């Protein structure tokens, strides 16, 4: 199954364009020695209990049938937007930056259109447990920028950080699950102090966010030897382990740049430590296909840059694709509400993995 006829063959070209833009963006602000913005002399977060965050109850148990799947227009062979963000800044300094109001506006539109966030790890595992009639969306944030997460003196996420904005939207839209994936480098969220790094990672993991490997120094993997690729990934893997993060099931390519031997991005070994990722994510430029589809390539998962429709984004970034999916509801992933079954219109039966025949519902 292909998401849109005639578009897949140009993904590589668009990836290169997105990669170049990302390089420029990363050079705009002064960076630390390892490629991360640095926060100096940060005060430790208070140990008092913070105010309660909005909670989203789990979807009620549903046993899907052909009739119930038809009633909600279930199509679990459909397309899933995996959105890619970088810095969130009040004043944008590069095309891939977004402002807090732009991020909030996009999340509000997603919530109103019936999208429910899941993590990248949940997506590639096919662990999509959302209400019947809802659509999954994967929110991904690269580089562990300070604008992504920080706690205020009240122990709550700081205003206009990514996590605060996600919770703000979730508080107004019941069912909008407050989760996302953060692919981080060294000095996550601009923190140098190990204790604060561990506290930040621990907070996010405890609250259902995915924190995973984006290499230690954010190099262009295409330019590196196999050994240097493995070193950059393993060094970050060891850091994540020290900070208490779970094993990284997913990996996002810095700049969207693939190694000359693509398998080096998912498997390797350095200094006695090996690594393996269940999925590798690119930097653009169309929706991903369902993880239940025969053609799903877990080691080349496309993402959509969050942006408007100007210039190279005219037909490649989030505003275009979210409008396209709204106009083509039969092409997007719509849940049957039952994570133990896969429901699809009968015309898509040949697109689904054969191993799922025992749990497949067609109508």
Q: Residues 341-360: pLDDT tens digits?
A: 999 999 999 999 999 999 99
What is the overall mean pLDDT for the chain?
A: 89
Q: Is the pLDDT of residue 97 over 50?
A: yes
The 8-class DSSP code of residue 274 comes to E
| Residue 344, domain member (yes or no) | no
Q: Is the pLDDT of residue 31 over 50?
A: no
d(CA 321, CA 306): 10
Of the chain, the percentage scoring pLDDT greater than 70 comes to 86
Q: Comparing 53-62, 260-269, 276-285, 303-312, which segment has the lowest mean pLDDT?
A: 53-62
CATH number at residue 154: 3.20.20.370
Residue 57 gets the label, from left (phi > 0), alpha (psi -120 to 50) or beta, of: beta
289-314: average pLDDT: 97
Contact 121, 252 (CB under 8 A): no
| Residue 53, domain member (yes or no) | no
State the total domains in the chain. Answer: 1
Parent domain of 157? 8-37+79-330
Q: What pLDDT does 56 receive?
A: 76
| Residue 297, domain member (yes or no) | yes
d(CA 217, CA 233): 9
β-sheet bridge partners, residue 267: 276
Q: What pLDDT does 50 receive?
A: 53
| Residue 85, domain member (yes or no) | yes
| Residue 59, domain member (yes or no) | no
| Residue 362, domain member (yes or no) | no
| Residue 52, domain member (yes or no) | no
23-38: average pLDDT: 39
Provide the b/e sequence for 301-323 (b: ≥16 CB within 10 Å). Answer: bbbbbbbeeeebbeebbbbbbbe
31-60: average pLDDT: 53
Q: What is the pTM of this model?
A: 0.87
Residue 350 has φ and ψ, to the nearest 5°, of -70, -5
Q: How far is CA 180 from the centre of its chain?
A: 6
| Residue 348, domain member (yes or no) | no
The position carrying tokens 């105010």 is 51
């Amino acid at each position: 199954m292909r998401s849109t006829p005639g578009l897949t063959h140009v993904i590589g070209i668009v990836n290169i364009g997105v990669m170049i833009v990302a390089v420029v963006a990363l050079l705009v602000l002064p960076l630390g020695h390892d490629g991360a913005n640095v926060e100096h002399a940060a005060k430790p977060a208070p140990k008092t209990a913070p105010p309660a965050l909005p909670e989203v109850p789990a979807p009620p148990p549903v046993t899907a049938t052909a009739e119930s799947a038809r009633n909600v227009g279930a199509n679990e062979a459909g397309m899933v937007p995996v959105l890619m963000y970088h810095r969130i800044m009040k004043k944008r300094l590069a095309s891939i930056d977004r402002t807090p109001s732009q991020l909030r506006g996009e999340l509000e539109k997603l919530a109103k259109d019936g999208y429910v966030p899941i993590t990248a790890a949940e997506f590639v595992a096919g662990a999509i447990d959302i209400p019947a009639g809802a659509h999954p969306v994967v929110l991904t944030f690269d580089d562990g920028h300070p604008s992504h997460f920080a706690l205020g003196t009240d122990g709550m996420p700081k205003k206009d950080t990514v996590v605060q904005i996600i919770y703000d939207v979730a508080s107004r839209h019941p069912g909008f699950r407050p989760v996302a994936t953060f692919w981080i480098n060294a000095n996550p969220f601009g923190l140098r102090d190990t204790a604060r790094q561990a506290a930040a990672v621990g907070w996010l993991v405890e609250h259902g966010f995915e924190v995973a490997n984006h290499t230690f120094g954010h190099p262009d993997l295409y330019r590196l030897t196999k050994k240097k690729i493995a070193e950059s990934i393993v060094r970050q893997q060891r850091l994540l382990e020290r900070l208490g993060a779970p094993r990284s099931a997913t990996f996002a390519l810095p700049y969207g740049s693939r190694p000359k031997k693509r398998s080096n991005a998912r498997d390797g070994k350095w200094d006695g430590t090996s690594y393996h990722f269940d999925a590798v994510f690119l930097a653009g430029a169309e929706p991903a296909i369902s993880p239940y589809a025969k053609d799903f390539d877990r080691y080349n998962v496309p993402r959509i840059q969050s942006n408007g429709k100007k210039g190279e984004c005219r037909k490649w970034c989030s505003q275009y694709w979210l409008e396209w999916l709204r106009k083509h509801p039969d092409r997007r992933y719509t849940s049957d509400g039952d994570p133990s079954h896969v429901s699809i219109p009968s015309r898509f039966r040949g697109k689904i993995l054969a191993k799922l025949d025992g749990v497949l519902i067609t109508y």
